[in-house]
Amino acid sequence: MDNPYAACAVSEAFAGPLTWEGKQDNKSIAELDLMNTGELALEGLKACHRGVALSPLKGSKAALQQRLDAVDYIETIQRVYRKKRKMTAALLMAFTELQGATLGTDLEKCSKAYDKLK
């Protein structure tokens, strides 16, 4: 599998760090509006990866809240993405898969959804 971060290495200065740790890392709508669809997809991937990383903490209310925050952020990213590219059923499904993977335990599902969006 291709490294999903390699393609965006040049835009890291714009897109920020290659992790999403919580709501404090959410980009504003104005910042997201400046991103291209690949950068938006990477933002979603970062949030998804964080959600999966928190999956072992199933009993933690804080971890669950952070995972739900990641799902909400992906929803925001989807709304901005929609302005830039016609949303087909396949793209909508990819965002749904990304959100579902965020609440799961399999990083590969995050990457597969990302691949459909970039």
Q: How confident is the model at residue 103 (pLDDT cuts 50, 70, 90)?
A: very high
- Closest alpha carbon to 34 in 11, 54, 55, 61: 11
Is-contact 47 73, C-beta < 8 A? yes
- 45-64 pLDDT, tens digit per residue, is 999 999 999 998 878 999 99
Which of 6-10, 13-17, 34-38 has the lowest average pLDDT?
6-10
Look over the chain and give the mean of its residue pLDDT values, rounded to a whole number: 88
Convert 60-84 into a string of H (helix), E (strand) and C (coil): CHHHHHHHHHHHHHHHHHHHHHHHH
Q: For residue 109, what is the enclosing H or E element?
A: helix 107-117
CA–CA gap between residue 62 and residue 2 (Å, rounded): 32
Q: Is the pLDDT of residue 11 over 60?
A: no
